[in-house]
Structure 1
Amino acid sequence: MTENQTWVTEFSLLGFPLSLRIQMLLSGLFSLFYVFTLLGNGAILGLIWLDSRLHTPMYFFLSHLAIIDISYASNNVPKMLTDLLNERKTISFVPCIMQTFLYTAFAHTECLILVMMSYDRYVAICHPLQYSAIMRWGVRTVLAVTSRTCGSLLALVHVVLILRLPFCGPHEINHFFCEILAVLRLACADTWLNQVVIFAACVFILVGPLCLVLVSYSHILAAILRIQSGEGRRKAFSTCSSHLCVVGLFFGSAIVMYMAPKSRHPEEQQKVLSLFYSLFNPMLNPLIYSLRNAEVKGALKRVLWKQRSRSKKILQRKKASRETDSLM
């Protein structure tokens, strides 16, 4: 190994090649999106925690999806917001590798969680009488833990294969974070094994799960069409359509990014797709579930009603206390 293939201490993130004024504007806009992501997913978690009617397998998986979305956005977006306001955009080697690991781990886990959610809807609609027995607490906990474990192990494989590579320079990542394909472009050795593992992971994590989701929903659609009650069909379509919207956004952007043929400007295309993948998807997920799901909207109304009733009682107690004090 030559002298310029020594241990890398830091990378430079090129980010978005825009004027300072536009970068400041984007920083403010993306900050709002990030706050909406935290508030939206936090509200979903709070509603599921506070409303006992949402303590069901479907919302158990939805709470895991909300946690993953918060973690996923928090891994990439704060650094991006800081770099938009700074002229010097650098990241140390170890934090860069950690960012790559967390990015891939959260992405893999979200793919598997979405599959578990489609399986939950399949059991609920196609086998309603056995739903409680099949999706009991122990089973859904095992499914959630398995999703997280598989996602983390696959991410670890990617990171181990990256660490074996030498980086000769220039150490400039043409991205706004340490995305795995952008990091591999800086290696001064053959990355064929990394590319093969990434492709295999895409087949295992994207194509395979997407096929399972489509098979589940073909059975679900057939079962919904057999439901006699119009209200029952409407409720089933409501919960399933929300999940299908999330699946379409997530898997669609991921497949285009990692499996579609590259254009003449692949790096700029990947930056835009990564922005959608790491910021817009986590922000849109709670909006989709809250706007299209009657149970979530009902839970929000009940929580707000309880809070209003509690506030009224507190005010009445304070008023009664003041009246008692004035009489004395």
Structure 2
Amino acid sequence: MDPSSLIPEAIGISVQPIWLIVLSIITFSVHLLLMNAVFGGTAIVFFHSISGGTEISRSVSKKLPTVLALAINAGVPPLLFLQAVYGQFSYVSSILMAVFWLAVIGVLITGYYGLYFHNYRYNKLSSSARKFLMLAVLCMISYIGFMLSNKMTLMLRPDVWPEYFSDQAGFILNLGDPVLIPRFFHFVVSALAVGGLFVALIGRSRGDQDFIDSGMKWFSRSTLVNILMGIWFFMALPRDVMLIFMGQNMLATILLVAGFVLTFGMLHAGFTKNVVLATAATVLIVPVMATMRHLVRQEYLAPYFTLNTAPVSEQLQPLVLFIVSIILGGLGIAYMLKLMLKAERS
């Protein structure tokens, strides 16, 4: 069966795709930083609970529910931009894995509640109960990340969509794709690094060197391991996709070099315990990686769809409304965070 015959008609968009792609990369970068802080922070709380680092465990767990709320809200715009531009691929992948994808909502709500419960019942829970609860939350967040990786890779593989005709119940996953596992672990290890940076930033705001030492240890070691994960991920890509980073696409090649430079900057900052430099390098490398992710997606889908063939209606009003809304929303969130931090200090 010709896979292209299974792809729905392209969904029309209101503005030139470049606008949506740029906004997608920006908003996804914000979401990724926040979500990695939650994922990595939860893992660190769990491991410190096992090793007896109760002060770090207690302090970080107080921040996690708020950061998760921000991460969830920040995750909506990039998903909507993805569906606006690549909806004919995104919706199909959601249908193929419908059962697992719909379960993400319940798992997310349960994990969110678990973080709140762990925070507000911290002193009343036994040590073993806290460990079990954080392990459960960690597994839930891992499930969400793994399902997102499945969805994002499955939408790039129309060649495996015919599996639907032998399994129409919504239980199809992209487990046969050699890219899936290294991609997932690349993001998992990245989350541990960002989680460590999160701990170090808490320590810097408190003036606590123990927090900084512990956080930067997580940050530097995870970044070192993630170099291997990134190489594994890169080598697992199809040859034609890999080659765009080897000179066939100048932007992709420049981004790959920039990624290496920033990675070594992160390592230097981690081992020298320079929290400011580590933060700057991390904030810079995330949009670089997000742009590379877009170029990979574009190359995967090139045989079926290109941005210059997307139907455009040239209506700027929805884009203007979104930009105004996100600015006002951002100001509102910043004000609420200011009030929350003021209340915590008082």
TM-score bin, normalised by smaller chain: 0.3 to 0.5
TM-score, normalised to structure 1, is: 0.32
Q: Which has the higher contact order (CA 8 A, sep 6+)?
A: 1
Higher alpha-carbon Rg = 1
